[in-house]
Amino acid sequence: MDIQISTYFPMLIQGLFFFLLFLFTLYGVFLAYHWFTFGTSKHTSQLALVVYLAGGAVLFLTLASIT
């Protein structure tokens, strides 16, 4: 039985994509909670959230285009 690992790679990458998306979202929620609850400036917290999401969006779009 000749099973090639390359057959399962697209599926694994797709699984990785959704796992990372879940992790990124959860982590983002935790971070945003901390920034807006314990942070010292609302403006800085908002900016950090925008940068976090924008950078994440670029990376996830790259990953999505590959998968």
Binding site for other proteins (CB under 8 A): 6, 9-10, 12-13, 16-17, 20, 23-24, 27, 30-31, 34-42, 44-45, 48, 52, 55-56, 59-60, 62-63, 66-67
Nearer to other proteins, 1 or 59 (CB): 59
Q: How far is the CB of 58 from other proteins (least distance, A)?
A: 9
Quick one: CA torsion of 38, 40, 41, 47, rounded to 10 degrees?
-60
